């Protein structure tokens, strides 16, 4: 009986949602020729100096430490009739210097660390007729950790570790998923204005689509000065609403409502569509250490080759409800080589599935329930396997 009541409640929600702005179906929205870029720069530095002296003695110690870190993160999303791609580039550098001095022994020890890192990934689909596509997924993660130690009256030591991970997938598939975020954002802004009795007329289907395209154009504009970027976005949005005679520019409340609705209601990604793909997958993982002062110099390389199957289904059921499902299978073999000229080969399989159901009355308030299952099995002399099952619930 409880299940029956839940079913009736869910249907009631859906019917209420359908009666929104002009019965607009955001799942039908497809924005072409879209390029969206982001760039984040982060820096951090710290400095500390500590001096300790024991009373009525000559014993004293001092410690000094300085560390700094900088990182750049860039993303690019491209959506057109022939291409869908998402790329991410991250590169950074961290460094630190520490020294320790002891007065009774007149010893001074120091350590210097330098850690550069580079990450790049791209997932790209090139479409042909009937939504058939060729997909390429590539990831690289390159890092180097270096430590120099200077210990008084002993040999200086150096330790370095180079790590490189490269993953490549090439496959074919069919289907397409569209980003419907801008259409959803357009509907929520209109609903916001309507609730405040500031919408002069009910927008039709063509007006909502045109407004969604305007929002996409506003989000794509990039300026060096973020203030100019915000001004440009706001001008595009407000000018559209005024030209379409949707708001009264003499009512000052409109500008506050539009600014609030746009600035704080555009952070949840929503997709609609289904795609399935199969292909070949491979990766190579290289790890090498070097050093002096008694450090050994081991290295090992892990390579893998296999086949994969991937299925993704994202459904924008309505303006308020979203359902996502994904299923991935990977079957292949791997080889491990090391500096001892030994080799290990094993077959491996990976199965992963995830499901989520979301309720989004606005982009400011949302509830998501998710279930993720993961299983891996390595067929070798040890016959290793592990699995995970995770249930999540998020409310914002």
Vertex 281 angle, CA 357 and 327, to 5°:
20
- Digit-coded pLDDT (tens) for 17-49: 334 565 888 888 887 678 888 888 899 999 988
pLDDT of residue 342: 60
Q: What percent of the chain stands above pLDDT 70?
A: 82
pTM value surpassing 0.85: no
CB under 8 A, 24+ apart: contacts of 222-231: 222/37
**Structural domain spans, the chain:** 2-26+181-263, 37-177+271-395
Best CA proximity match to 318, nearest among 177, 199, 183: 183
Q: Is 297 helix (H, G, I), strand (E, B) or coil?
A: coil
Q: How confident is the model at residue 228 (pLDDT cuts 50, 70, 90)?
A: confident
CATH number for the domain formed by residue range(s) 37-177+271-395: 2.40.128
Q: What is the pLDDT of residue 140?
A: 95
- What b/e sequence results for 349-375 when a residue is b if at least 16 CB atoms lie within 10 Å of its CB, and e otherwise? ebbbbbebbbbbebbeebebeeeeeee
The radius of gyration of the chain from alpha carbons, rounded to an integer in Å, stands at 28
How far is the C-alpha of 266 from the C-alpha of 208, rounded, in Å? Answer: 16
pLDDT digits (tens, 9 = 90+) for 185-200: 898 889 889 988 999 9
List, edge to edge, every strand of the sheet that includes 157-179: 34-53, 60-79, 83-102, 107-127, 132-150, 157-179, 271-291, 299-316, 321-338, 343-359, 367-379, 384-395
Query: Residue 137: its pLDDT value, please?
Result: 96
Choose among 35, 20, 34, 67: nearest CA to 48: 67
Q: Strand 60-79 vs strand 34-53: parallel, antiparallel, or unpaired?
A: antiparallel
Q: Where are the alpha helices (DSSP H) in the chain?
A: 2-18, 181-195, 205-220, 226-243, 252-263
CA angle 293, 294, 296 (to 5 degrees): 120
Are 344 and 335 spatial neighbours (Cβ–Cβ below 8 Å)? yes
Q: Measured in Å, how far apart are the chain's first and last C-alpha atoms?
A: 30
Decide if pLDDT at 8 tops 60.
Answer: no
CA angle 388, 314, 88 (to 5 degrees): 75
Under the banding of pLDDT at 50, 70 and 90, the label for residue 296 is low
> Averaged over 338-364, what is the pLDDT?
79
Residue 147 tokens read as 């430590």
Residue 303: both structure tokens together: 């390579």
């Amino acid at each position: 009986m409880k299940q029956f009541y839940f079913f009736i409640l869910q249907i009631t929600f859906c019917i209420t949602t359908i009666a929104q702005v002009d019965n607009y179906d955001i799942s039908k929205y497809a924005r072409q020729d879209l390029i969206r870029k982001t760039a984040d720069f982060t820096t951090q530095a710290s400095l500390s100096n500590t001096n300790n002296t024991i009373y009525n003695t000559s014993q004293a110690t001092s410690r000094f430490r300085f560390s700094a870190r900088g990182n750049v993160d860039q993303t690019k999303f491209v959506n057109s009739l022939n291409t869908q791609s998402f790329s991410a580039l991250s590169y950074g550098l961290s460094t630190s210097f520490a020294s320790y001095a002891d007065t009774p022994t007149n010893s001074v020890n120091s350590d210097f660390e330098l850690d550069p890192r580079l990450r790049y990934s791209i997932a790209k689909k090139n479409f042909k007729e009937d939504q058939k596509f060729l997909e390429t997924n590539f990831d690289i993660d390159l890092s180097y950790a270096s430590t120099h130690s200077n210990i008084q009256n002993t040999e200086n030591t150096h330790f370095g570790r180079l790590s490189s991970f490269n993953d490549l997938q090439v496959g074919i598939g069919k289907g397409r998923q569209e980003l419907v975020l801008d259409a959803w954002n357009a509907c929520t802004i209109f609903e916001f204005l309507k609730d405040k009795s500031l919408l002069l007329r009910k927008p039709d289907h063509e007006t909502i689509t045109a407004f969604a395209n305007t929002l996409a154009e506003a989000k794509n504009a990039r300026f060096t000065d973020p203030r100019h970027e915000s001004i440009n976005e706001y001008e595009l949005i407000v000018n559209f609403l005024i030209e379409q005679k949707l708001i009264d520019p003499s009512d000052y409340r409109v500008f506050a409502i539009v600014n609030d609705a746009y600035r704080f209601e555009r952070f949840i990604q929503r997709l609609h569509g289904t795609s399935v793909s199969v292909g070949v997958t491979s990766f190579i993982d290289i790890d090498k250490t070097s050093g002096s002062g008694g450090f050994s110099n081991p290295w090992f390389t892990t390579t893998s080759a296999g086949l994969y199957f991937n299925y993704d289904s994202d459904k924008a059921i309505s303006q308020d409800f979203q359902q996502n499902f994904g299923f991935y299978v990977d079957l292949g073999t791997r080889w491990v080589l090391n500096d001892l000229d030994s080799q290990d080969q094993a077959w491996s399989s990976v199965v992963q599935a995830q499901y989520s159901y979301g309720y989004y009355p606005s982009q400011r308030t949302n509830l998501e329930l998710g279930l993720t299952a993961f299983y891996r099995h390595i067929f070798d002399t040890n016959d290793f396997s592990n699995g995970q099952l995770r249930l999540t619930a998020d409310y914002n």
